[in-house]
Structure 1
Amino acid sequence: MKPVLLAGETFHVTSFASKGMEVGASSRYLNGATRYIEALAAQGIEVVQIGGERCEAEFPRSLEALAEYSAVVISDVGALSLLYTPETRMGQRSVNRLELLRHWVEQGGGLMMAGGYTGFQGMDGSGMFHGTAVEDCMPVEISPYPDGLEAPEGLDPFVVDTSHPVLAGLKSSFPFVLGMNRVVARANLEEATLVRCINRGRDLPLLAVRDYGAGRSLAWMTDIGPHWLSAEFMRWEGYDILMANMVRWLAREI
């Protein structure tokens, strides 16, 4: 199996501390995908990560470059980080990498979008994937409005289709999640929703899959790491298997 390309999941945290008239600043660089990368490695799957701050210059710009990977995972990085290119900043025409991804899936590629504050439409609308070519090939419809749902009380997932290969090998039920992106299952693809959560009496897709052209897409409406994935979920014996099954299904390995 070729490596999996993971785009996103990195961020800088800048802090200021004031002591009277004196103010100091510090900055940290964090990677929210550490547990995810370890999980796939434990299942024999290599991950190549391009952090969000590097996507503009380094994310693939051709079908040939995408073909180096068995699947692409977009996680907690917004549409603008993929749309901008060095040429764009110079006022020149360039490749639309969201249209490129849609075409790649149509031709047989495998694309996953994971949730987060800048996933799907995003907590404050900054994800901006609504109305893009990537949404066209997703198994869900993305809201035009901010779609982040914070749930400190926890949301309990329940499985709709236990027979699907993505859920194979899971010996216990899903632990709770602490938030997700609110999307809508496509009306003609109801059978593609594998796992749901209920919030205020409303069913929300948590995990959905789709065949699109010759390829496949998968939407996971919560984080692949903290904080929306609870500590219990991160310790869950099924975490490694589930995350690996997602990319193996996309790559037609299962």
Structure 2
Amino acid sequence: MKVLLAGETFAATTSVAIGGDVLTSATSTNGATTFNAALAAEGVAVTQIGGDRCAAEFPSDLDALAQYQAVVISDVGALTLLVTPEARAGRVGVNRLDLLKTYVEGGGGLMLAGGYMGFQGMFGTARFYDTPVEDVLPVRCLPYCDGMEVPQGLQASILQTSHPIFSGIDGPLPPILGMNKLEFRHDGSSRLLATCHHRGTDWPLLAVCNHGRGRTVAWTTDIGPHWLSQDFLEWPLYGKLMANMVRWLAGTE
């Protein structure tokens, strides 16, 4: 099966003052290297469009999306997908968030993953609240900063061990170091599979939904560092869990 991953690339520019001289360097990081390798080992082919390329290269029509059985959006904000080259030039064009909703309703699978630029985002800048993508998710975004850092670690509680996403997953999940705060849809449309308890509230960690002919997953923490701890990334079942998610999205579980 083929999966499209949008996002998970980061660029940083650093200036260092040494006496009267200032040296500037730039670095780039791909936060999905472990994810991509783990899915490849599970027989899932991942095509990644980094966040810096999404505005220009993310599919703008259903035919382009239809070659993928599942789409994963991770650490790239709604505006990056909305502001197409045509929009930036002041021309009317496609709304790619509407396109993703139509893709799901027609039978596609969509996963929105957490992070600083996931859901509403650590600083409220991811902005998936009140969008067509939110319409198809098993959770509702909060209309403000939703990220929380928990360096002491959060332990997941698995609520539905019989779900196909947990097939072959034995024992507790390793700790996570942060997540996005979201509201589960208690309207009968969705299933809450796992939560994390923090400061008196059980926050959704993993929720799923059948929408139209398609399926959606909300995974409210990272697919890589830093919210996924090194223990999680080195866990022998990490790849199995991630592959189970995309296989369920594609209906091939």
**Normalised-by-shorter TM-score class:** over 0.9
Offset of residue 92 of structure 1: 0.6
Are 2:181 and 2:203, in contact at CA under 8 Å, matched by a contact in 1?
A: yes
Are 1:157 and 1:206, in contact at CA under 8 Å, matched by a contact in 2?
A: yes
CA RMSD across the alignment: 0.9
3-state DSSP class of the match of 2:64?
A: helix
1:180 aligned partner: 179
Amino acid at match of 2:113: A
Unmatched runs of 5 consecutive residues or more in structure 2: none
3-state DSSP class of the match of 1:192?
A: strand
Residue deviations 1:42-96, cap 9 Å, x none?
0011100000111111101111110010100000000011001111111010100
Unmatched runs of 5 consecutive residues or more in structure 1: none
Are 1:172 and 1:238, in contact at CA under 8 Å, matched by a contact in 2?
A: no
Runs ≥4 residues deviating over 4 A: none
Matched, 1:17 2:35: no
Identical-residue share of aligned pairs (%)? 56
Are 1:157 and 1:197, in contact at CA under 8 Å, matched by a contact in 2?
A: yes
Offset of residue 188 of structure 1: 1.2
Residue deviations 1:192-238, cap 9 Å, x none?
11010000010100000000010000000000000000010011111
1:87 aligned partner: 86
2-side partners of 1:58 and 1:15: how far apart? Answer: 27
Offset of residue 101 of structure 1: 0.2
Are 1:194 and 1:209, in contact at CA under 8 Å, matched by a contact in 2?
A: yes
Amino acid at match of 1:20: G
- After the TM superposition, which residues 1-254 of structure 1 pair with which residues of structure 2 at under 5 Å, given as runs? 1=1, 3-189=2-188, 192-254=191-253
Offset of residue 191 of structure 1: 5.8
Amino acid at match of 1:150: E
How many residues get paired?
Answer: 253
3-state DSSP class of the match of 2:187?
A: helix
Offset of residue 189 of structure 1: 3.7
Offset of residue 19 of structure 1: 0.8
Residue deviations 1:125-159, cap 9 Å, x none?
11000000000000000000000010011110010
1-side partners of 2:132 and 2:85: how far apart? Answer: 21
3-state DSSP class of the match of 1:4?
A: strand
3-state DSSP class of the match of 1:247?
A: helix
2-side partners of 1:32 and 1:211: how far apart? Answer: 28
